[in-house]
Amino acid sequence: MLSVSDAPVSVLDTFAGRHLIVTGFTGFLGKVWVGMLLDRMPEVDLRLTLLIRSQPGKGAASGRSALDRFIEIVETSPAFRPIRERHGDDLARFLDARIDVLDGDVGKPMCGLAEATVKRLAETADAVINVAGLTDFDPDPIASLQSNVFGADNAADLAAQLEQPRLVHVSTCFVAGAKGGRVPERFEPGKTPKGVPYDLDGEIAAIRSLPTGHRKKLQKIRVEAVRGRATALGWPNIYTYSKALAEALVARRDDIQLSISRPAIIECALHYPFPGWTEGMNTAAPLAWLNGHWWREMPAVAANHFDIIPVDLVASGMVHVVAAALRNQHVEVTQQGCSDINPFFIENAIELTGLWSRKRFRNSKRISRRVMRLMDPVAVSPSNPGLFRVKNLRKVIGGAKSLVDRVKADALLPPSLASKVGAGLDAYAYVASNMLGDTDRQLSLVEKLFDVFKPFVGDTDWIFQTSNMRTLVNQASAEDRALFPYEPESIDWMDYWVNVEVPGLERWSWPILRGDRPALDPKFDVPLKFTNRLAADGGDGPTPKKTEAPERRADGTTGGN
């Protein structure tokens, strides 16, 4: 465990004059971290080189350069709302002074940068911050290997080129796997969560030897094979397995100064960019969606910890981790979570989602909503989920559907009656059959969701220790702690869950579950004139001409990242 030094250190001074290379900017945490850095220390002379993967065009659609993607995020992402508001018309000048965008891909050797560019970056860069990663729980293992495992190693290769070869790598607390209990901020090389030694190179070689190809069937075979392997070793899914392999890969290197930052379950922002903001589908979104709607019984172990942490706290925590690395006082592993200091439990999440529902639908005019708000969701034992388990419901729905499908007016009614009402009856049967089919599909999705999230709400109880993280934060001056607050102990869970988290999910994540897109902020009337100095100097980025604004849709939104 770390000890607090006597004199407080200045985070602002530490960052002054520094140059950081950042991967994963386009992701949820990446945006918030970069946005927070720029927003909270506008006067500090800090330079960030963002490695953003350009997207090739598909068919008639044109591709998007790294710079296009950057500008689109700056212009439309809520993560940059505070910066846009702070700088207004001066935004391009402000960003020009601090940001360089390069076309980079962590999945490629040396992050896809040309040798000359690496050489140039190495002259000035102080650290590589690897926030990139594929956070789907069970993605195609090939993609996961590329992004999460090789991505980390490639970022480490880049870091190794720097004069001070510092790498801050963002991982996850859940690399602890099925071990459970108190999880220390420590790296245990070469051992699975079950404590069995494993061969890292052998694991990677095994994934590489899987059949390649884009056919769905092949992809399914790969996912099942690697998920099976991960589970057998003690990791709940491909994501945690790949992150654990990545940690092992970078931790065995002796040519870098490594800091691993492990957040728990990252959820909606507490304060930055504004309360409730989230992007995409986080862990709690589908679960809260089920409980916030008609699903009343949740197969979960009520007494287990549910270690969630708002994204801006993780971003703040990362600032302190990076600052320590820049001072050459790096900490090998820090964990950002709440379970050891301000625990939140599964039963709290379920109960508070029900209370949110009471509040949300109190004045609803729809009777169904008013009834629903009075029926609280409850946790039921995963091993004995009761009569209303999804399997049983699907059986009932399936039975009803096959019965309705057999309804044929000609066969059931006498010919005289069938000629009069037969067509109507058949039409009703057709509609009912479709509705039952839809319900079955939705139930199948629910079943899948329970399956995916079972490891996090049912199987294992984790308490992630965060003393290293808190010690780092306590080393900072009071002013810096106010700028980059990391205080999970002061979260009021009821207020956060009912007034911040679930409303945030409702606004930003649930539209995705319904197949919609949450609206982005409106674009600028005049496109941002960001010149991208580094690319202009001959880097790997796109030509520094002013980018054309992406085509605007009728609803005012543009394509996302």
Partner 1 sequence: MSTATNPPDGAAIFRLEGVITPRTSMHAAASLAMGAALLRERVTRLSSLALAGPLSLLHATRGGGKARQWAWTGVKGMSTNRVTFLAEEYWDSEIRPSIRPQAVELIERARLQGKRLVLVSDNVGLIVDHVAAALSIEHVVCNRLVFSDCRATGELQSPIVGGERSGQWARQFAHEHHIDLGRSVAYGAQASDALLLSAIGSPCAVGPDLALRRMAVDHDWPVVEV
> How far is Cα 279 from Cα 284, in angstroms, rounded to an integer?
12
Place of tokens 């102990």: 489
Positions in 490-529 near partner 1 (CB under 8 A): 493-494, 498
Candidates 108, 229, 359, 529: give the one binding partner 1 (CB under 8 A): 359
- Among 143, 355, 435, 520, indicate the residue that binds partner 1 (CB under 8 A): 355
Locate tokens 């399914």: which residue? 220
User: Shortest approach of partner 1 to residue 358 CB, angstroms?
Assistant: 7
Rg of the chain over all Cα atoms, to the nearest angstrom:
26
Q: How far is the CB of 45 from partner 1 (least distance, A)?
A: 46
Token duo for residue 63:
């591709």
Which tokens belong to 251? 């931790």
The conformational region for residue 487 under phi > 0 = left, psi -120 to 50 = alpha, else beta, is beta
Q: Which residues pair with 378 in a beta bridge?
A: 297
Joined together, the tokens standing for residue 257 give 């100064």
Residues 7-36 that bind partner 1 (CB under 8 A): none
* Residue type at 459 in one-letter notation: D
Nearer to partner 1, 120 or 358 (CB): 358
CA distance 93 to 97: 6
Q: Which residues contact 167 (CB under 8 A, 6 or more apart)?
A: 127, 128, 130, 155, 156, 159, 250, 256, 257, 258, 259
Interface segment toward partner 1; rule CB under 8 A; list 7-15, 70-78, 332-340, 343-351: 343-351
Is residue 378 near partner 1 by the rule CB under 8 A?
A: yes
Helices 311-326 + 28-40 axis angle, to 10? 70
Other CB atoms within a 10 A radius of the CB of residue 107 amount to: 19
Calpha distance 411→405 (Å, rounded): 13
Question: Is residue 1 near partner 1 by the rule CB under 8 A?
Answer: no
Minimum Å distance from CB 355 to partner 1? Answer: 5
- Tell me which stretch binds partner 1 (CB under 8 A): 304-312, 326-334, 349-357, 525-533: 349-357
Taking the complex as a whole, the smallest distance from the CB of residue 367 to partner 1 amounts, in Å, to 17
**How many binding residues for partner 1 (CB under 8 A)?**
15
What's the rounded Cα separation, in Å, for the pair 132 and 137?
15
**From 157, 185, 203, 351, residue interacting with partner 1 (rule: CB under 8 A):** 351
Among 139, 292, 337, 354, the residue binding partner 1 under the rule CB under 8 A is 354
Closest alpha carbon to 38 in 10, 71, 69, 80? 80
Stretch that binds partner 1, among 148-156, 371-379, 384-392, 501-509 (CB under 8 A): 371-379
Question: In this chain, which stretch among 83-91, 216-224, 257-265, 347-355 interacts with partner 1, using CB under 8 A?
Answer: 347-355
For the chain, first and last CA: distance in Å? Answer: 39
What is the smallest separation between the CB atom of 498 and partner 1, expressed in angstroms?
A: 7
Q: Is 308 in the site for partner 1 (CB under 8 A)?
A: no
Name the residue nearer to partner 1 (CB basis): 438 or 492. 492
Q: Is there binding between residue 348 and partner 1 (CB under 8 A)?
A: yes
Residue 371 touching partner 1 (CB under 8 A): no
Could you give the angle at which helices 238-251 and 200-208 cross, rounded to 10 degrees?
130
Residue among 339 and 547 whose Cβ is closer to partner 1:
339
Asked if 24 contacts 333 with a C-beta cutoff of 8 angstroms, the reply is no
Part in contact with partner 1 (CB under 8 A); list of ranges 64-72, 116-124, 247-255, 344-352: 344-352
Supply the minimum distance, in Å, between the C-beta of residue 500 and partner 1.
Answer: 15
Nearer to partner 1, 362 or 395 (CB): 362
In the bound state with partner 1, the residue whose beta carbon lies nearer, of 277 and 345, is 345
Footprint on residues 227-286 left by partner 1 (CB under 8 A): none
Q: Is 376 in the site for partner 1 (CB under 8 A)?
A: yes
Within 8 A by CB and 6+ apart from 287, the residues are: 298, 349, 353, 449, 453, 457
Axis-axis angle for helices 467-475, 311-326 (nearest 10): 70
Binding site for partner 1 (CB under 8 A): 347-348, 351-352, 354-355, 358-359, 362, 375-376, 378, 493-494, 498
